């Protein structure tokens, strides 16, 4: 920095500037290193940001404790950086950020000057900046110059539009007391300007001389004399102005020369002082390096002592760790035995899985057979229904034939009686011709006997035909009975097969439940395997700790531990492979269980078997309904038969009463024989049988 010639001068000036804020205990550098005075200054600058609560966090009883000083300075620096960023909207470059550790420990003046530069930047950029600028203007001229240079260094980074308002205002005021004191660079610039102006002056003088010579040589006319006079006057006025400016520049050059001599003397003094300060700084740096070395060595000693203490504690804990390692090895042995048992159970699970596959295949085959047998049963049931209907019709026809046979037997008996009576009558034909006055009943019986002969012949033919039909119906009935027996046998076989399939299904469901329980046990065993892995990891960690704690000379123990670690790694790999195999087996078992799951498949029955069961239940329901209808029709038929029989008996009683009435009415007629009465009864009954509805 060109203006900042000496850090110490800047520091002294800034200390003097802090005294302008009327803050106590800031008369020397040592009092500023505690940070209390700087905190009070910041509170005076902006009490809204650096408020009383913030000020109360600054410890005022630091004294010679450099750690409290560093903590105070860190709080102050952090608050100032936040103030620059949040309130002023400026970014402070890293080169202007001080090292508070050096300030607190060593009382470094350079870092303290940077910190005070930031404080001055806050002062000339806050809301009350006019008051602080007026206070700065009341200081001495040299102090003002140093303060201005420090402020410009803080604001040297490219700010926003409102950040460097105070600096622009200071530049716009044109501090004359600062412009008079320029440095070497301004002096060189002024010398260059003077040389340029001197060259312009010489060129203008040469031009003026040439113009005068031309004016003297030539005699212009009267018209152009006025123009040349005007130009001449203008040039003379310009020359006078340039002469005045030249005089002023010469006077300023003399002043600058005097000022340069003074500055050169000051520069020599400052160089001597700078050399002294550099020697002091080198000594301070060497002392600081020695302090750093000693501090580093002390820290290292403390760390080594702490490590020794920790190693002592770890050596004390080594016995416990060895006991834990033994326990873990025993647990590892137990877990290995458990893994062997799990492998055995996995092999059993594989065997059970093969059995499940065979059972599944058998179940599919049985379901297919069951469906085929169900179709056959349905077919036989339909045929059985048709045959039962035909059988009922044949039974009805058989009953009718039996009733007709009974009637024919009665008619044959009557005909036989009639033949016997006719034979008796043929022996007495001559008496019939002689006796013209016989009873009309005998003549009537003779006519009836003649008619009965024709009917007997006709009935014999019909009887033969009916016997042939009866034989054919009997053969057909036997065939139907055989078919019915076969259908019943098929139905019995289907029922037995269905019962066997139900038993197999129940067995399969019980096996599935056993497999589910086995899988649940396997899940619990997987938790044991996880615990085994956790124990392995703990054992590995504790072995690493033991390796760190044991001395390097114990090579045999290290070899044993390495061998055990290799064995553990192999066992871990075996366990991982077993886990993978176990997971595959579990997945396969779960797929098998899903296929036979009673929740997904109702009661562990395949879909085809369930459909066949539903069909069988529907068929049973239909059969029960048909049986119920058959019972109703049979009861109705029995009632009709009872009604017909009662009507027939009522009619017979009515006819009998009628016949008895006729007998009682016809007292003049001859008495009938027993055979004639029986014949009349049979005719009446035949008429009733014809009137009976079939």
In the listed set 163, 181, 199, which residue is the last one of a domain according to the structure?
181
* Lowest-pLDDT range of 57-71, 183-197, 434-448, 511-525: 434-448
pLDDT in tens, 213-266: 877 776 554 545 677 777 788 887 888 888 778 877 887 888 888 888 888 888
Judgement on whether residues 176 and 323 belong to the same structural domain of the protein: no
In the listed set 537, 572, 605, which residue is the last one of a domain according to the structure?
605
Residue 218 lies in a domain: no
Give the Cα-Cα-Cα angle 480, 485, 486 (nearest 5 degrees): 95
Is pLDDT above 50 for 164?
A: no
The domain tally of the chain equals 2
Q: Which two tokens stand for residue 182?
A: 């320029």
Spatial contact of 238 and 207, defined as CB atoms under 8 Å apart = no
In the listed set 154, 181, 208, which residue is the last one of a domain according to the structure?
181
Spatial contact of 246 and 197, defined as CB atoms under 8 Å apart = yes
What is the rounded average pLDDT of the residues 427-454? Answer: 53
d(CA 162, CA 177): 26
Residue 163 pLDDT: 36
Provide the CATH number for the domain around residue 65: 1.10.418.10
* pLDDT level of residue 553 (50, 70, 90 thresholds): very low
DSSP 24: S
pLDDT in tens, 333-383: 888 888 888 888 888 888 888 888 888 888 788 878 877 887 887 778 788
DSSP 604: G
* Structure-derived torsion over alpha carbons of residues 81, 82, 86, 87, reported in degrees to the nearest 10: -70
What ranges in 174-221 are assigned the alpha helix state H?
A: 176-179, 184-217
d(CA 147, CA 126): 16
Residue 547 lies in a domain: yes
Residue 285 lies in a domain: no
Is pLDDT above 60 for 650?
A: yes
pLDDT in tens, 662-694: 777 654 444 455 555 556 656 655 555 554 444
Q: Which two tokens stand for residue 233?
A: 């006057």
Residue 573 lies in a domain: yes
Q: pTM of the entire structure?
A: 0.28
Residue 103 lies in a domain: yes
d(CA 651, CA 264): 174
Residue 164, classified by CB atoms within 10 Å of its CB into exposed (0-12), middle (13-18) or buried (19+), is: buried
Residue 163 lies in a domain: yes
- SS3 for 490-522 is HHHHHHHHHHHHHHHHHHHHHHHHHHHHHHHHH
Residue 47 pLDDT: 85
Judgement on whether residues 174 and 321 belong to the same structural domain of the protein: no
Whole-number percent of the chain with pLDDT over 90: 0
Buried b (16+ CB within 10 A) or exposed e, 148-157: bbbbbbbbee
* pLDDT level of residue 582 (50, 70, 90 thresholds): low
Residue 636 lies in a domain: no
Residue 552 lies in a domain: yes
In which domain, by residue range, is 42 found? 7-181
């Amino acid at each position: 920095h060109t203006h900042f010639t000496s850090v110490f001068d800047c520091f002294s000036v800034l200390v003097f500037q802090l005294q302008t804020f009327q803050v106590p205990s800031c008369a020397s550098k040592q009092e500023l290193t505690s940070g209390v005075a700087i905190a009070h200054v910041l509170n005076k600058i902006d009490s809204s940001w650096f408020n009383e609560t913030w000020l109360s966090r600054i410890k005022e009883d630091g004294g010679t404790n450099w750690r409290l000083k560093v903590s105070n300075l860190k709080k102050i620096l952090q608050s100032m950086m936040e103030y620059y960023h949040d309130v002023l909207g400026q970014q402070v470059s890293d080169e202007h950020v001080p090292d508070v550790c050096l300030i607190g420990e060593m009382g470094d003046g350079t870092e303290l000057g940077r910190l005070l530069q930031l404080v001055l930047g806050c002062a000339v950029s806050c809301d009350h900046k006019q008051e602080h600028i007026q206070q700065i203007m009341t200081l001495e001229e040299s102090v003002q110059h140093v303060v201005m240079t420090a402020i410009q260094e803080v604001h040297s980074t490219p700010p926003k539009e409102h950040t460097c308002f105070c600096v622009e205002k200071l530049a716009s005021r044109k501090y004359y007391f600062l412009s008079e004191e320029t440095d070497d660079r301004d002096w060189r610039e002024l010398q260059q300007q003077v040389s340029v102006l001197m060259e312009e002056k010489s060129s203008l003088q040469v031009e003026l001389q040439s113009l005068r010579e031309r004016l003297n040589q030539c005699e212009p006319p009267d018209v152009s004399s006025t123009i040349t006079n005007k130009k001449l006057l203008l040039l003379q006025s310009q020359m006078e102005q340039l002469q005045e400016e030249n005089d002023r520049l010469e006077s300023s050059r003399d002043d600058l020369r005097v000022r340069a001599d003074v500055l050169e003397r000051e520069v020599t003094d400052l160089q001597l002082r700078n050399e002294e300060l550099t020697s002091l700084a080198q000594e301070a740096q060497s002392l600081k390096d020695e302090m750093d070395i000693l501090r580093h060595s002390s820290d290292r000693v403390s760390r080594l002592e702490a490590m020794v203490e920790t190693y002592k504690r770890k050596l004390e804990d080594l016995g416990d760790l060895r006991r834990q390692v033994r326990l873990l090895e025993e647990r590892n042995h137990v877990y290995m035995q458990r893994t062997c048992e799990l492998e055995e159970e996995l092999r059993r699970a594989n065997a059970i899985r093969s059995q499940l596959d065979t059972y599944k295949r058998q179940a599919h085959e049985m379901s297919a057979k069951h469906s085929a047998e169900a179709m056959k049963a349905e077919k036989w049931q339909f045929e059985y229904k048709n045959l039962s209907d035909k059988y009922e019709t044949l039974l009805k026809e058989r009953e009718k034939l039996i009733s007709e046979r009974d009637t024919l037997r009665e008619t044959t008996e009557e005909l036989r009686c009639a033949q016997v009576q006719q034979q008796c009558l043929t022996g007495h034909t001559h008496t019939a011709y002689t006796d013209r006055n016989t009873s009309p009943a005998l003549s009537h019986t003779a006519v009836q006997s003649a008619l009965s002969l024709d009917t007997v012949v006709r009935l014999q033919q019909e009887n033969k035909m009916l016997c042939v039909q009866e034989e054919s119906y009997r053969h057909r009935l036997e065939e139907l009975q055989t078919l019915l027996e076969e259908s019943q046998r098929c139905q019995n076989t289907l029922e037995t097969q269905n019962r066997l399939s139900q038993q197999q299904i129940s067995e399969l469901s019980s096996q599935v439940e056993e497999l589910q329980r086995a899988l649940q046990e396997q899940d619990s065993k997987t938790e044991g395997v996880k615990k085994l892995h956790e124990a392995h990891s703990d054992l590995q960690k504790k072995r690493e700790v033991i390796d760190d704690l044991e001395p390097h000379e114990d090579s045999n123990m290290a070899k044993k531990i390495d061998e055990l670690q290799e064995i553990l790694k192999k066992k871990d790999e075996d366990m991982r492979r077993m886990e993978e195999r176990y997971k595959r087996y579990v997945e396969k078992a779960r797929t098998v269980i899903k296929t036979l799951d009673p929740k997904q498949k109702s009661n562990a029955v395949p879909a085809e078997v369930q459909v066949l069961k539903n069909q069988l239940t529907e068929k049973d329901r239909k059969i029960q309904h048909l049986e119920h209808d058959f019972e109703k029709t049979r009861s109705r038929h029995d009632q009709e038969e009872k009604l017909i029989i009662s009507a027939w008996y009522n009619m017979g009683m009515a006819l009998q009463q009628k016949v008895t009435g006729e007998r009682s009415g016809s007292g003049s007629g001859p008495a009938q024989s027993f055979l004639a009465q029986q014949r009349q009864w049979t005719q009446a009954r035949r008429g009733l049988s014809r009137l009976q509805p079939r």
